[in-house]
Structure 1
Amino acid sequence: MKEYLARNISRYRKERGLTQEELALKLGISFQAVSKWENAQTMPEILLLPELSKTLMVSIDKLIGYVSKDEPISIYEEVYKIEGYYWGNEPNAACYQLLQLMPPKQHLKLLDIGCGEGKDAVFFARNGYDVTAFDISDAGIEKTKRLADKIDVHVNVFKADILDFRLDSNFDIIYSSGVLNYIKPEYRNELFNNYKQFTNSNGLHCLNVFVNKPFIGPPPEKESNSYKWQSGELLAHYHDWLIKDTSEIVFDCNSSGIPHKHAMTTVTAQKITSLAK
């Protein structure tokens, strides 16, 4: 918890536009104390947490890394409560590509970032991968569990916010579809460095992002926490990896009941850590 708290104090302090000295002044403490918090050397006294929470304008629960089940963060929370599957049961086409590139001939650990209702995560588990998945939606997590039970496979699924969650153990494959737009631009370098660091040698990342195009209007969903990418931006995070595939497409979408278009970039990259002999 100390590391989560340290990272979140730094993150929310910067979002409020405060220096360490300014935060310390508001709390009546030394700036050295704030520095030690943010470096995970010490933790705030429990009596300071309410004032710290108020100053940073974030709940104590979120400050320490807990996402409340009572707070609907995703616009899909209610949508996922319908009886059927909002996105259907068919896996994304990228799942088949990944299966070809790195078939589970041996034990392979796969992380699905933002699994939604679980169709892709369950597909991977059904095909023999050791699957971990997370999402911000309680309803999505429950649907993932039910779908896994129906297929009789195991998916280690849990609730987390993509902005708060960091890896601390290695995976062979990191997969994400339609979710990375929730990462604020200022956090992208840190997050992708974390994902890359905790990827095993020869591991794969298979990811996609929505990208800005002047000839495509905004989607009908009004998501204040969604941030589009620029063409080439995702690829740039993998300049030091082997690019197995990259493409950009424009496609029709009717997810909200209103026909619209998206532009999307896909990148599949492999971590090569040893020189060929």
Structure 2
Amino acid sequence: MKEELAKNICRYRKEKGFTQEELSRKLGVTFQAVSKWETAQTLPDITLLPRLSQVLDISIDKLLGYISYDKQITIYEEEYKTQEYYWGMVPSKMCLRVLELMPPSTHLKLLDIGCGEGKDAVFFARNGYDVTAFDISDAGIEKTKRLADNAGVQVKVFKADILDFRLDTNFDILFSSGVFHYVKPQLREEMFSNYKQFTNPNGLHVFNVFVNKPFIDPPPEKEPTACKWVSGELFTYYHDWLIQECSEVIVDCDSSGIPHQHAMNKIITQRYQCKKK
């Protein structure tokens, strides 16, 4: 718990835009005390937890690493409860690029970040990858399990919030489509750093993200937790990796029953391992 609390104090302090000194002033402690909390050298006094929770605008449970999902977090929870598949059954075109660039000729571990109803995760499992997937939606997770059962494949799927979940085991491929707009700007550098750290040598990241364009109307889905991305921002997190592809496209969409468009940045990037001479 000590390490989890340390990570959370640091993460949510940065999310609020506070320096260690600013947080220390609000709590009436020294900035050295805050620094020691964030490096897990010491713990804050238990009497400070209510004030710390208030200043960082999160619950004490969340601060300590106990995440509660009592409230509906995603607007798609009800949509996923229907028999129909909200996003359809056709896998993303990015799935085919994964097959081309890193076919599962050996055992490859793949993580689908924000798997929704599971169409991409199950596609990868059917093609021989060892697939793990997570989403915040209970209904989406159940649909993913059902889709995997119907296809006769295994997908290790679990519930997690992209804002809080971080990797502690390595994967060969990280895949995510249409999810990162939920990630707040203050969390992006730390999140991508974690993803890169737990990617095996020569592993791939295959991601896309919605970007704002003045000539495209906002989508019909009203997502209160969505955060803006700008063109090229996604690419900056991979300046030290080999970028196989990076592009910006306009895509047609009718997922809500209302035809509309999105502008998207796509990146396929590799943790390049130099061959020894």
Query: TM-score under structure 1 normalisation?
Result: 0.90
Residue 141 of structure 1 is matched in structure 2 by: 141
The answer to whether the 8 A contact 2:14-2:186 is kept is no
* Paired residue secondary structure (1:141): helix
Residue 190 of structure 2 is matched in structure 1 by: 190
Structure 2: state its 5+ residue gaps: none
Partner amino acid, structure 2, of 1:124? F
Cα distance in 2 between the residues matched to 1:197 and 1:19: 25
Residue 168 of structure 1 is matched in structure 2 by: 168
Partner amino acid, structure 2, of 1:40? A
* Paired residue secondary structure (2:78): helix
Matches within 5 A, 1:93-108: 93-108=93-108
Cα distance in 2 between the residues matched to 1:216 and 1:190: 30
Provide the alpha-carbon RMSD of the alignment. Answer: 2.1
Cα distance in 2 between the residues matched to 1:160 and 1:168: 14
* Paired residue secondary structure (1:248): strand
1:224-275 CA-to-partner distances (Å, cap 9, x unmatched) read 3212322222223222222222222112222223322101111111111215
Cα distance in 2 between the residues matched to 1:30 and 1:23: 9
Cα distance in 2 between the residues matched to 1:229 and 1:21: 29
Residue 179 of structure 1 is matched in structure 2 by: 179
Cα distance in 2 between the residues matched to 1:265 and 1:21: 37
Change (3 A) 1:77 1:41: farther
Partner amino acid, structure 2, of 1:11? R
Residue 35 of structure 1 is matched in structure 2 by: 35
Cα distance in 2 between the residues matched to 1:23 and 1:109: 40
Residue 235 of structure 2 is matched in structure 1 by: 235
1:155-174 CA-to-partner distances (Å, cap 9, x unmatched) read 12112221222212111001
Deviation at 1:103, TM superposition (A): 0.9
Change (3 A) 1:235 1:27: closer
The answer to whether the 8 A contact 2:15-2:186 is kept is no
Change (3 A) 1:75 1:29: same
Partner amino acid, structure 2, of 1:74? T
Residue 78 of structure 2 is matched in structure 1 by: 78
- State the identity as a percent: 69
The answer to whether the 8 A contact 1:91-1:120 is kept is yes
* Paired residue secondary structure (2:235): helix
Structure 1: state its 5+ residue gaps: none
1:125-184 CA-to-partner distances (Å, cap 9, x unmatched) read 121111111111122112212222222222121122212222121110010000011122
* Paired residue secondary structure (1:77): coil
